[in-house]
Amino acid sequence: MLKTSDILDEKNKLLRKVSEDVTFPMTQEDLDTIDLMLEYLTNSQIEALAEKYDLRPGMGMAAIQLGIPKRYLTIVHEVEEGKFDNYVIVNPKIVSTSQEKIYVEDGEGCLSVNRDVCGIVPRFARITVEGYDTSGHKISIRAREELAIAFQHEIDHLNGILFIDYIDKNNPYKDQEKYRAI
């Protein structure tokens, strides 16, 4: 089982590395890592388990956050109380976006940023992501709102970008009126 301490902290320079494309077939080690990532994200969103195992709540995780510079990510999206949709995408690319941009009103969080960060992180309200499943079959995912933000956040990780990079240090709420809060 993954622990919160297994996740790289924002100070770790590896998080700034651009991850490499994955080749197929995937290694058993990567497939096992994906299972651990999904388990962590699910358990971290169930309050009793998060407390029991001392897990920071998270919705998404990119391989680089575990020190693995490969282009794959997982997202566990709670669609209703205790019911989750799991997403695993390898070599993801955003292929279309909405005109509309949104931001998380309470601020984005990140398992690698262990502090509260205030400010606007503009994200597309709707996106389409293409990539591959773990068997190498092409997949396409349309996401909106919170799920779209999660995909953009995790794909940024694969490109060495943290959400805090988008926040204007001198004016964290700059251009707030241009975007819709969710």
- CA dist 94 and 3 (Å) reads 30
Query: In the structure encoding, which two tokens stand for residue 60, read together?
Result: 């998404």
Determine whether 31 is exposed, middle or buried from the number of CB atoms within 10 Å of its CB (0-12, 13-18, 19+): middle
Number of residues written out for the chain: 182
Confirm whether 39 is a catalytic residue. Answer: no
Per-residue DSSP letter, 13: G
Rounded Cα distance between 34 and 117, Å, is: 28
Catalytic residue among 39, 78, 154, 177: 154
- How far is Cα 156 from Cα 150, in angstroms, rounded to an integer? 10
Which residues form the catalytic set? Answer: 154
